[in-house]
């Protein structure tokens, strides 16, 4: 049974990896419009996109971008992300720093988080910002999917760092994965077999990220790890109560799946399941209140839709200005698929809306 499950997952990852890595990694080839260079920020590889200087301006705005791919796939250098960041740099006339964090299976949590945090903190140093002619008051942290997870976690940590002199003005999260507490939210139930990111694949991404075992997949799927008898999970339950956090149009007629008796040993063996650095939606209200103005993009046909919507609600209740940009006819991962042979109208539509928000708010 587990072998069949593993083979299904392996086949899915091969197909998804082909889509994301449609072409080989691109070298840092600059154009007349954008200078592209590879650098190392505090031991972490990054790719920097710089638009040409204009005569009437001294400093540029900037976006730190963290790519998706289940903490296991893709790269800042693949064509799809290279293209996205180049277009962002051109459209916003902004310096874009794309973080090349290490991936599963080379490393697991918390190393991806530490890579993203180290690279971001290095960039936020005043002398580094000056080197790239970046306005310290106009910086955004952004990412999609697993990159949205890392962006949210990094933003939360930056808000607690008293030594920082520069903080991000905005965070922009694209269909972020934000919790491993409840795999039966309405969007997980509605889209459990949706192509690109079925529920079992997302669960296995989590298992790989936190260095677990595929044998636990079914326990996670039925929420045995957060049953009512799991003491460590009880204190977090209200922070992920989708019945109070989601609008009726998201809840539809779905019912919560809450086990009375589950398997407490799971969170004992895998404490990252309840670690806020891995699961940003578990953050307390005081941490959320310190977050910058936030943009959250969600897609109807996506198991992660409710992760983003719940985070938007919690941030809003904590007093943070939030824009929830929901697309009824789009799917997980669509924003990077704008290059032939995977050039989808959904990708262009979501990308344009995201860039428009950044342009108006950064």
| Residues facing residue 95 across a β-bridge | 62
Spot the catalytic one: 182, 225, 325, 332: 332
Q: Are 324 and 354 in contact (CB under 8 A)?
A: no
Q: Which residues pair with 228 in a beta bridge?
A: none
Cβ atoms of residues 95 and 131 within 8 Å: no
Q: Is 67 an active-site residue?
A: no
Helix (H, G, I), strand (E, B) or coil at 128: helix
Q: Do 240 and 182 form a contact (C-beta atoms < 8 A)?
A: yes
Catalytic residue status for 122? no
Contact 192, 199 (CB under 8 A): yes
- Backbone φ and ψ for 171, nearest 5 degrees, come out as -130, 140
The CA distances from residue 195 to 4, 10, 15, 192, 357, in Å, are: 19, 15, 11, 9, 28
Whether residue 110 is preceded by a cis peptide bond, meaning omega within 30 degrees of 0, is: yes
Please identify which of the residues 115, 144, 302, 306 carries the catalytic annotation.
Answer: 302
CA pair distance 194, 35, nearest whole angstrom: 38
CA–CA separation, 91 vs 352, rounded Å? Answer: 10
Q: For residue 175, what is the DSSP state?
A: S
**Cα end-to-end distance, the chain, whole Å:** 50
Q: How far apart are CA 23 and CA 21, in angstroms?
A: 5
145 in catalytic set: yes
Cβ pair 343, 337 in contact under 8 A: yes
C-alpha angle 250-253-256 in degrees, rounded to nearest 5: 85
Plot region of 165 (φ>0 → left; ψ -120 to 50 → alpha; else → beta)? alpha
Among 62, 145, 159, 187, the active-site one is: 145
The answer to whether the bond into 105 is cis (omega within 30° of 0) is: yes
Cα 346 from Cα 337, distance rounded (Å) = 8
Plot region of 308 (φ>0 → left; ψ -120 to 50 → alpha; else → beta):
alpha
**Residues taking part in catalysis:** 145, 302, 332
């Amino acid at each position: 049974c587990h072998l069949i499950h593993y083979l299904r997952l392996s086949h899915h990852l091969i197909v998804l990896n082909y889509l994301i890595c449609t072409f080989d990694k691109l070298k840092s080839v600059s154009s007349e419009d954008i200078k592209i260079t590879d650098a190392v920020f505090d031991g972490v590889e990054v790719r920097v996109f710089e638009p040409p200087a204009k005569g009437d301006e001294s400093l540029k705005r900037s976006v730190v971008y963290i790519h998706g791919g289940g903490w296991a796939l893709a790269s800042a250098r693949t064509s799809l992300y290279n293209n996205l960041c180049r277009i962002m740099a051109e459209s916003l006339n902004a310096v874009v720093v794309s973080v090349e964090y290490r991936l599963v299976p080379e490393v697991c949590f918390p190393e991806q988080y530490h890579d993203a945090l180290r690279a971001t903190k290095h960039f936020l140093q005043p002398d580094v910002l000056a080197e790239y002619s970046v306005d310290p008051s106009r910086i955004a942290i952004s990412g999609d999917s697993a990159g949205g997870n890392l962006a949210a976690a990094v933003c939360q940590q930056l808000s607690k760092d008293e030594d920082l002199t520069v903080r991000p003005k905005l965070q922009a999260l694209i269909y972020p994965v934000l919790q491993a507490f409840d795999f039966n939210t309405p969007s997980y139930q509605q889209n459990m077999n949706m192509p690109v990111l079925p529920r079992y694949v997302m669960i296995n991404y989590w298992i790989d990220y936190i260095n677990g075992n595929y044998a636990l997949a079914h326990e996670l799927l039925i929420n045995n790890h957060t049953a009512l008898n799991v003491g460590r999970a009880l204190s977090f339950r209200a922070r992920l109560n989708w019945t109070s956090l989601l609008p009726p149009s998201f809840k539809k007629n779905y019912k919560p799946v809450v086990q009375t008796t589950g398997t407490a040993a799971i969170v004992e063996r895998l404490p990252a399941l309840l670690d806020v650095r891995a699961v940003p939606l578990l953050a307390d209200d005081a941490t959320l209140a310190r977050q910058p103005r936030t943009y959250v993009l969600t897609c109807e046909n996506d198991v992660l839709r409710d992760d983003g919507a719940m985070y938007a609600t919690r941030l809003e209740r904590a007093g943070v200005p939030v824009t929830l940009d929901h697309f009824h006819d789009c799917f997980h991962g669509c924003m990077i698929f704008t290059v032939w042979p995977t050039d989808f109208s959904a990708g262009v539509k979501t990308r344009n809306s995201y860039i428009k928000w950044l342009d108006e708010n950064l």
